């Protein structure tokens, strides 16, 4: 399986496994540990980082910025994805009084500029609208994207958690290179609601979050999860890999070629995740997992 | 907020608040009162009238025609929207035996010509297919639209209550300038089912009916309505406007820029509705209303 | 109603009533009876045959091949539709261990070539992907289709049971001429889920399977079926035709002009099915059946 993907015709290559820094602040690493962690990711071929302004109550980008300041050689070796468009009350953002979506041009531009400062970088490789905002004006968003691109502040743009109709609407005004959506054996929605069909049609590479359903894939005691645990274990044993490796390979085999986020701080887990790129599931195995997940027979 | 919208690139301007004459016959106005009512609407900047062949058991267009006959100066000051495609038994239509949809070319043309006669006008500004007909043949409808347009009988065409797939199907054969759909704080379907996304994508202006959910917004005793009533009252008080003004402003803020129908005979209500055009809701207020309506937190 | 349809701009004409050979092996006809049966179909104007590799546990195509060998004059008088993409364990396919979908180029090509050998024909007129495969790669499928077409082995391509999003995805890479879907008075899904709207938009002719809901339309004792039986009987009596004729005419009247599969071995049933082509339902009758089926009034 290809370990890197070009996200746009002349665009940069991203690693298919993406380092999710959603919980960076919760990991409570020392600055030196963070440097070490990023080096470990690079050593595994994980060169793409996923961030958002709001992660860690608006602190995750700051911590990454500190890490880059400490080890400036790291920056150029990563592609940085970050997001904007959600606001909520936070001591980090004293002027925000309510939890809202904000896709005004002013907010998008201010948020991107703030992300640059927080992460201490010159350019965001990929900026995503975090959630579909019922108030999003496609022309206004396109104008903000265009300004950020012309100013050299952001290279590419995409969205997250958008429906196909929302994606096509915004894509009619500005080229989008990804839709980052939730997908796992426990949450197959984008396989069936047209999201991945649209990605394939438009040659857009999706990104997947919560590929292990936040761990529920292995901890839940529902009949569905138990069927899946049995099936995953069997295949993992056959192939001599971990169960999480199999669960991630199941997603990597989708024809829209999703990139997959990892959310762990443990290098051991990153290793297993990257191994999924070498884990060739047969069609029989893939559909066995499908059956275990759905509890149904194929029509 | 813009108070008038151009419905097609070189098309006429419509007022964003549209005078719905659905219940014109039920209002039991004298002819002189109807003239007065239309003048009051014009004075408020409401220059667009919404009609349908079937309204008032096929009498509403006739009553409007009487009014134009009485005050011929009124006609040229209004843009007239009417609809066709529904048939039901009525003493006004003795040949109709059943409740059906009819989008045959013959019926569309006959219905439009009948609407012209009933309303005593030379031209319909905008003719809508009232409901999606499972038997609608896009080529046949396009041919009927084309004939009516060439004959100078109808200027523009649209639909009502169409799904995105139905809209795209008919729009593939003939340019449509609107989809008139139900939308309110109690019925947010077109915000999420792709209808408004498609409108924005195709730069088509939607029209909204039942913006106050037929009054249920203020009379229902459900937990949802009670949450909304509290939230609406709070914002109305802050802004010094009526609750219905706030509820309509919530729709006018949608980025697809919907036109909104009013269905009232009371000039006081028209005044409040028009005030919604000046009612600037903050994003915080808009999302407070969203939360009250859905009973959910934003993801 | 047109009894034949051109399936592509310069494509061949198919008969609107299509001979479904799904249960050919179950019918236990002698070879001579099969020849007779095909002649009877031709005499009724049914010139299109629907097959699939898997029908009759992979034996239906073989039986048709035997019939063509016995009566070689028959082949040129039929258009042959067959399908590929499903695999399941069978004594006929000892290497298949699991029930899976397989839309790999290798499988599509091998399956088509095998269908040619089984049916003892030189060319498949129309090859369909039988079910939407979550693993289908549009580029790979298009490449397989293209190879088969260039090699003169298959003339046209389509799909079966695809959602609109899946159809548009594959159609973005290779022209598809049909989507064969389930539709009946008891299963109106493709009328409302955008499937038939997309067909009409793209000028693609759908094919319909299970037009009589596998007979449940006449045997079920649910309130829905009983309402339908009463309504069908009334109309059948008025028109002097059979109830199944009316039920099929209801589908033939849809504006996407579906072809309809018949699944019976009885010539009497084929006769009734073909009669549906001459059965003109009024809009009143069509909507009476709609009402009986849905148990609802038109909005």
The DSSP result for B156-216, as a single string, is EEEEES--HHHHHHHHTTS----EEEE-BTTB-HHHHSSHHHHHHHHT---EEE-TTGGGH
Is residue C161 within 8 A of residue C181, CB to CB? The reply is yes
B-C C-beta contacts closer than 8 Å: 55
Token readout for B265 is 């005979």
Contact with chain A for residue C131, Cβ under 8 A: yes
Of C201, C259, C267, nearest in space to C37 by CA:
C267
Token output for C235? 């109309």
Cβ pair C287:B98 closer than 8 A = yes
Non-local CB neighbours of A114 within 8 Å, separated by 6+ positions: A53
pLDDT value of residue C294:
96
Per DSSP, which regions of chain C are E strands? 4-6, 13-15, 17-20, 48-50, 79-84, 86-87, 100-101, 124-129, 154-160, 179-182, 207-209, 259-262
Measuring CA to CA, which residue among B143, B194, B147, B154 is closest to residue B177?
B154
**Could you report the per-residue pLDDT of A220-276, keeping only the tens digit for each?**
999 999 999 999 999 999 999 999 999 999 999 999 999 999 999 999 999 999 999
Most A CBs within 10 A among B163, B164, B197, hence the mutation to make, goes to: B197
- Count of domains forming chain A: 1
Domain interval for residue A39:
4-177
SS3 at position C208: strand
Residue C235 lies in a domain: no
What's the pLDDT score for residue C61?
98
Residue C267, in any domain of the structure:
no
- Distance between B104 CA and the closest CA of chain A, angstroms: 30
Contact check, Cβ <8 Å, C135/A200 = no
Q: Chain A: give the shortest CA distance to residue C234, in Å.
A: 36
**Is pLDDT at C210 greater than 90 in this prediction?**
yes
User: Is there a contact between A79 and A119 (Cβ–Cβ < 8 Å)?
Assistant: no
Beta-sheet strands, E only, within C131-200: 154-160, 179-182
Residue with tokens 């009609």: B51
B299–A169 C-beta distance less than 8 A: no
Phi, psi of A117 (to 5 degrees): -65, -45
In tens, the pLDDT along C230-244 reads: 999 999 999 999 999
Residues B123-141, mean pLDDT to the nearest whole number: 98
The residue count for chain A? 299
Contact of B29 with chain A, judged by CB distance below 8 Å, is answered with no
Residue A96, min C-alpha distance to chain B (Å): 9
Residue C174 touches chain A, beta carbons under 8 Å: no
pTM for this structure?
Answer: 0.97
Share of chain B above pLDDT 90, in %: 97
DSSP chain B: --SEEESSTT--EEESEEEE-TTTTTTT--HHHHHHHHHHHHHTT--EEE--TTHHHHTHHHHHHHHHHH-GGGGGG-EEEEEE-EE--BTTBTT--S-EE---HHHHHHHHHHHHHHHT-S-EEEEEE-S--TT--HHHHHHHHHHHHHTTSEEEEEEES--HHHHHHHHTTS----EEEE-BTTB-HHHHSSHHHHHHHHT---EEE-TTGGGHHHH--SHHHHHHHHHHHHHHHHHTS-HHHHHHHHHHTSTT--EEEE--S-HHHHHHHHHGGG----HHHHHHHHHHHH-S---
Average pLDDT of the segment spanning C18-31 = 97
Residue B58 is assigned to a structural domain of this protein: yes
> Is residue B225 in a domain?
no
Q: Determine contact: A73 vs chain C, CB below 8 A.
A: no
pLDDT of residue A11: 85
Please tell me if residue B164 touches chain A, with a CB cutoff of 8 Å. yes
Q: What does the angle CA A126 – CA A127 – CA A133 come to, to the nearest 5 degrees?
A: 145
pLDDT tens per residue, range B78-116 = 999 999 999 999 999 999 999 999 999 999 999 999 999
- Would the pLDDT of C2 be above 90? no
Q: Does C283 touch chain B (CB under 8 A)?
A: yes
Measured between its terminal Cα atoms, the distance across chain A in Å is: 29
3-state secondary structure of A61: helix
Question: Which residue is closest to C255 within chain B, CA to CA?
Answer: B137
Buried b (16+ CB within 10 A) or exposed e, A214-227: eeebeeeeeeebeb
Asked if A179 is an interface residue toward chain B (Cβ–Cβ < 8 A), one would say no
Give the Cα separation of A64 and A120 in Å (integer). Answer: 8
Q: What tokens were used for B285?
A: 């207020």
- Residues of A with CB below 8 A from B280's CB? none
Between CA B75 and CA B73 the distance in angstroms is: 6
Give the pLDDT confidence score for residue C10 in this predicted structure.
87
Looking only at the bridges linking them, the beta strands covering B124-129 and B100-101 are unpaired
Q: What is the pLDDT of residue B1?
A: 81
CA dihedral A291, C186, C190, C291 (to 10 degrees): -140
Q: Are B72 and B41 in contact (CB under 8 A)?
A: no
Please tell me the predicted confidence (pLDDT) of residue B287.
98
Report yes or no: C98 at the B interface, CB cutoff 8 Å: no
Mutate to test the interface with C, among A163, A190, A287 (most CBs of C within 10 A): A287
Q: Which residues lie below 8 Å from residue B51, measured CB to CB, with a gap of 6+?
A: B21, B60, B61, B64, B80, B81, B82, B83, B115, B119
State the maximum Cα–Cα separation within chain A, in Å, rounded to a whole number: 56
3-state secondary structure of A161: coil
Q: Is C156 a catalytic residue?
A: no
Smallest Cα distance from C287 to chain B, Å = 6
Q: Which CATH number covers residue A83?
A: 3.20.20.100
Q: Is residue B67 part of a domain?
A: yes
Tell me whether residues C134 and A290 touch, CB distance under 8 A: yes
DSSP H helices, chain A, are 31-43, 55-58, 60-70, 105-119, 138-150, 164-171, 189-192, 195-202, 216-219, 223-239, 243-252, 267-275, 283-294
Mean per-residue pLDDT over chain B, rounded: 97
Cβ-proximal residues to A291 (8 Å cutoff; 6+ apart), any chain: A231, A297, A298
- Single out the residue of A258, A256, A249 nearest to residue A285, CA to CA: A249
| Chain C closest-CA separation from residue B108 CA (Å) | 14
Answer yes or no: is B98 within a domain: yes
Asked if C19 contacts C46 with a C-beta cutoff of 8 angstroms, the reply is yes
Q: For residue C113, what are its two tokens?
A: 């070539």
The Cα-based distances of C171 to B27, B79, C153 in angstroms read 53, 42, 20
Given a cut of 70, the residues of chain A with pLDDT beneath it are none
Query: What is the Cα–Cα distance from B259 to B214, expressed in whole angstroms?
Result: 17
Closest listed residue to residue B55, CA positions, set B124, B121, B118, B120: B118
- Name the phi and psi angles at C124, rounded to 5: -90, 130
B286: chain A residues, CB-CB within 8 Å: 100, 135
pLDDT one-digit tens code per residue, C123-182: 999 999 999 999 999 999 999 999 999 999 999 999 999 999 999 999 999 999 999 999
DSSP secondary-structure letter at A77?
G
How far is Cα C247 from Cα C47, in angstroms, rounded to an integer?
22
Chain B CB contacts of A86 under 8 Å are 298
- On whether any CB of chain C is under 8 Å from the CB of A283, the answer is yes
pLDDT digits (tens, 9 = 90+) for C51-62: 999 999 999 999
The per-residue pLDDT for A10 is: 87
Separation of alpha carbons B66 and B257, rounded Å: 33
Interface contact flag, B197 A166, Cβ < 8 Å: yes
A289 lies in some domain: no
Cα distance from B144 to chain A (closest Cα, Å)? 30
What whole-number distance in Å separates Cα of residue B183 and Cα of residue B189?
Answer: 7
Q: Is the pLDDT of residue C98 over 90?
A: yes
Tell whether B95 lies on the interface with C, counting CB pairs under 8 A. no
Contact B284 A134 (CB under 8 A): no
Cβ-contact B96, B138 below 8 angstroms: no
Q: Is B159 on the interface with C (CB under 8 A)?
A: no
Neighboring chain B residues of C192 at a CB cutoff of 8 Å: 134, 163
Backbone φ, ψ for residue A18 (5° rounding): -115, 135
Instruction: Determine, for residues B200 and A100 on separate chains, whether the beta-carbon distance falls below 8 Å.
Output: no
Whether residue A257 lies inside any domain: the answer is: no
Candidates C166, C189, C251, C255, partner chain B, best to mutate (most B CBs within 10 A)? C255
Interface test with B, best of C2, C179, C200 (most B CBs within 10 A): C200
Average pLDDT score over residue span C199-209: 98
> Is a pLDDT exceeding 90 seen at residue C201?
yes
- Residues A152 and B205: their CA atoms lie apart, in Å, by 34
Q: Is A99 on the interface with C (CB under 8 A)?
A: no
Distance CA A113, CA B184 (A): 36
Chain B residue numbers touching C255 (CB-CB < 8 A): 135-138, 140
């Amino acid at each position: 399986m290809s370990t890197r993907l070009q996200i746009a015709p002349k665009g940069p290559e991203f690693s298919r496994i993406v380092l999710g820094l959603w919980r960076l602040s919760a990991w409570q690493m020392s600055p030196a540990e963070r440097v070490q962690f990023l080096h470990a990711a690079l050593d595994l071929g994980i060169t793409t980082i996923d961030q958002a302004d709001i992660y860690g109550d608006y602190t995750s980008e700051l911590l990454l910025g500190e890490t880059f300041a400490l080890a400036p050689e790291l920056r150029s070796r990563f592609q940085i994805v970050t997001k904007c468009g959600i606001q909520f009350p936070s001591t980090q953002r004293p002027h925000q009084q309510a939890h809202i979506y904000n896709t005004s041009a002013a907010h998008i531009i201010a948020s991107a500029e703030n992300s640059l400062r927080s992460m201490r970088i010159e350019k965001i490789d990929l900026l995503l609208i975090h959630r579909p905002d019922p108030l999003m004006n496609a022309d206004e968003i396109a104008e903000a994207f265009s300004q950020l691109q012309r100013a050299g502040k952001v290279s590419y743009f995409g969205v997250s958690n958008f429906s196909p109709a929302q994606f096509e609407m915004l894509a009619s005004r500005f080229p989008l290179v990804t839709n980052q959506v939730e997908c796992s054996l426990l949450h197959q929605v984008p396989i069936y609601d047209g999201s991945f069909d649209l990605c394939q049609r438009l040659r857009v590479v999706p990104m997947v979050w919560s590929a292990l359903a936040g761990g529920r894939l292995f901890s839940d005691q529902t009949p569905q999860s138990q069927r899946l645990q049995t099936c995953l274990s069997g295949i993992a044993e056959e192939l001599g890999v971990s169960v999480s490796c199999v669960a991630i390979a199941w997603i990597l085999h989708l024809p829209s070629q999703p990139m997959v986020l990892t959310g762990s701080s443990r290098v051991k887990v990153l290793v297993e995740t990257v191994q999924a790129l070498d884990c060739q599931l047969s069609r029989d195995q893939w559909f066995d997992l499908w059956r275990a997940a759905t509890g149904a027979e194929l029509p």
